Structure 1
């Protein structure tokens, strides 16, 4: 979707892979239709209502795992050109002849089918229960995403439509791989401009030549490589005007007059030699063969007065005369190529399409005033309503739903505590207890946080621990599902201590926990430092040899200590030399075991027995 001709492959060398915290505390806009289509393609036949399931998990992970503030954008009424292209794509995939295909009338547009619209409505209901902002575009969702990004309302767009750059997007996240150290595949317009010298209008020109969502065909006979090379010959301010002139048949204006950005060939003047001087057939340099017979020419420069050297295979003379001729030949070749491209463009009817250009350059794709901007705000999730909604649509157990939602609820709780530290309970049931340790996940450190279920909530029937079997039933995923889907949540670990108290363990962002509970973090760091100091002290004493060796029966000896002590005991044992001298190895080994067994641990005795 977007620009045709494998446009993403052209931009791929200039993509960046961003780290885990790239979207931490940033606003990101999501093209919801792209998510729904991708969900349907991934696990349509394996999961009940996949659009709800994966939107649920993706939203939780985007909010909690990556710490982003997501904004969702819906498609509006498609333009007549988009509707015509969509119908043409459908009939073309079906193998139907398009020669008698009717042209869409002015102002006539075709809405999406009813099944897809129902999926969108259900996802919107889910997102509103999450308390997340949902904005509707006038036309294309990626157009409004790009506008919000270009005007600074959000920091990045999540979409796979490459024409987001044509609408003015500055940062596009095409792919997310959550289970990696660098999960985001990010494209910036600044990197594209620095890499291949293409700006927004250059990209619009390429889409007109190779095709886009509003014109599937583009110009016949022009591919992506040809379009890129042709567009690079013009500055951004003149590229669209030149296309207008070429489309109107003014191609003679460009013969010998196209100024390429990378074309530094000087134009030939009257003083330049027009006729190539004669060259020696033996050495290939300027001059006749007879003149080079006795003495070498200035280009060969042989010693001892010998003649010129024979030219090798594939030799090309680099004298000024040949250099000018070669440049003129290359310039003529470039002009002929450009004229062929111009002729192909001039043969295209109604090129370039002014409506498509105006659509891409428009900066008003939403239902809001220019200065006021969209109304974007984040609210609190309606937890119980979410449980009812998912239990009805996905047939999930309430306990399973609450467990899956816990990472998002804990993130919201920590954010609220960082702003307004009021003693309260998470989800009305759990209290922040302590930081257990630092956990490294995908190369990034997190705090492993312990949440204790308070006594007042123990008698509540709102939360039950799901069994292992129910977890497997609820978490059915297709084996061929795309690995970059954000469907795998960070499920909290459920534990019950010896006294029967419930507690959960979650991975939380270190900065967020520090801001919410600084005393708890300081206490954890002090204990950690104390343990480290004790460990270092014990290690130093052990290296100095001041620690006495353990003599108790239950302490396991090292293998060196074991063999040394056994050898000493055998040497001092009375009568040992007689047993060793009779040649019986069995008796000798038995003697060793009888001596050493009372002072050895069970593990050492087991090794001795089976080795």
Structure 2
């Protein structure tokens, strides 16, 4: 679910926190990705279209593998270094929200059947999304795929987004690729949305800067967490009638959630019972994550072409020619991007003849033709 109305709130009250980016700006960047969210997106395609090209010859759904394979290949081809993080055990406080989702899936299945009979495309898409569930098998198959692609995989002890945020705070990655805004509630320094959306959706890549979020809203980190809880999150119920703007005004006025709730006792707002905001606050501020040396080393290695062909073609009925060509492009791009990153820092090392005909070594700190060393495309070092 994420944080309700946070995108619009930031657009209206902290516009400087978000800027549009080009895909080229992520050349050489290490990006942590919430694996389950990407798998969900790929499965939604099947639920919406029923396209049989997204199943194997035996009828098993393969859209999660097709989506994961070709999207990850594209990331690697443009020079990005993705690391996928998988969810562990959900916090006990989130179980109620997960139970509600199961109930909604049951209701949505009936509504989807009716929508298909009446032919309403908008309703078909809406209810299809609600029936989708990422299973343990989906996760395991995607793990196997990523390992064969030479991409690092991290198993989070609990929430993947919290783990991604921790890795970003420790400087292990540049940012998080996620569509859920609660990544910011975990205080991730950089949140990247729409990073690899299909071009047909024509959505810009948006990068959010956490420090500028706080600056724009005039809040401390603790107050921002309280704002997100008040807006509505996965760990608490919502207070009817409280939208993003009202929540911001209340936090700015009363400074903390305890005082906000105290002020509501004589108001029209009905606080849910229970409303475990203090536990939700703790989960955002002190999540169960791997820290420091607990995080396995992040290594990107050459893809196992024959292993991928055996898995995707032999077991999942993929087109062999497409798989082999994609693997070859990925392996070539990995080698090219490594050299490109070196040159982006120091400039291409060249020599030139002096007036006397002798070869002259370039000066330190200079690149080609004695020019100042080139920086990366963003002008700063890469993580």
Per the TM superposition, whether the score is higher than 0.5 is yes
Q: Which residue of 1 aligns with 2:100?
A: 88
Structure 1 CA distance for aligned equivalents of residues 194 and 83 of structure 2 = 17
Q: Does 1:400 align with 2:325?
A: no
Show CA shifts across 1:581-603 (max 9, x none). xxxxxxxxxxxxxxxxxxxxxxx
Give the RMSD, CA atoms, in angstroms: 3.4
Structure 2 CA distance for aligned equivalents of residues 221 and 341 of structure 1 = 15
Contact 1:29–1:158 under 8 Å retained in 2: yes
Q: Does 1:411 align with 2:340?
A: no
Q: In the TM superposition, what are the counterparts of 1:230-379 in structure 2 within 5 Å?
A: 230-234=250-254, 239-240=255-256, 243-245=257-259, 247=261, 249=262, 251=263, 343=267, 347-362=271-286, 364-366=288-290, 369-370=291-292, 373-379=295-301
Question: Residue 24 of structure 2 aligns to a residue in which SS?
Answer: coil
Structure 2 CA distance for aligned equivalents of residues 24 and 403 of structure 1 = 21
Residue 394 of structure 1 deviates from its aligned partner by: 3.6
Q: Which residue of 2 aligns with 1:26?
A: 29
Q: Does 1:35 align with 2:35?
A: no
Q: Does 1:163 align with 2:182?
A: yes
Structure 1 CA distance for aligned equivalents of residues 75 and 350 of structure 2 = 23
Aligned length: 312
Residue 412 of structure 1 deviates from its aligned partner by: 2.1
Q: In the TM superposition, what are the counterparts of 1:95-494 in structure 2 within 5 Å?
A: 116-176=135-195, 177=197, 179=199, 184-215=205-236, 217-234=237-254, 239-240=255-256, 243-245=257-259, 247=261, 249=262, 251=263, 343=267, 347-362=271-286, 364-366=288-290, 369-370=291-292, 373-415=295-337
| Greater fraction of residues in helix | 2
The one of 75, 94, 108 equivalent to 1:62 is 75
Structure 1 CA distance for aligned equivalents of residues 133 and 205 of structure 2 = 33
Structure 1 CA distance for aligned equivalents of residues 349 and 316 of structure 2 = 34
Structure 1 CA distance for aligned equivalents of residues 350 and 77 of structure 2 = 18
Question: Residue 202 of structure 1 aligns to a residue in which SS?
Answer: helix
Structure 1 CA distance for aligned equivalents of residues 333 and 348 of structure 2 = 12
Residue 131 of structure 1 deviates from its aligned partner by: 1.3
Contact 1:418–1:516 under 8 Å retained in 2: no
TM-score relative to the length of structure 1: 0.46
Show CA shifts across 1:165-213 (max 9, x none). 1111111111135759995211111332233324432332123223211
Gaps of at least 5 residues in structure 2 are 56-61, 109-131, 353-383
User: Structure 1 517/31 Cα, relative in aligned 2: closer, same or farther at 3 Å?
Assistant: farther
Which has the higher Rg, Structure 1 or Structure 2? 1
Gaps of at least 5 residues in structure 1 are 97-112, 252-339, 421-509, 520-611
Contact 1:189–1:199 under 8 Å retained in 2: no
Question: Residue 213 of structure 1 aligns to a residue in which SS?
Answer: coil
User: Structure 1 228/388 Cα, relative in aligned 2: closer, same or farther at 3 Å?
Assistant: same
Residue 352 of structure 1 deviates from its aligned partner by: 5.0
Structure 1 CA distance for aligned equivalents of residues 251 and 77 of structure 2 = 43
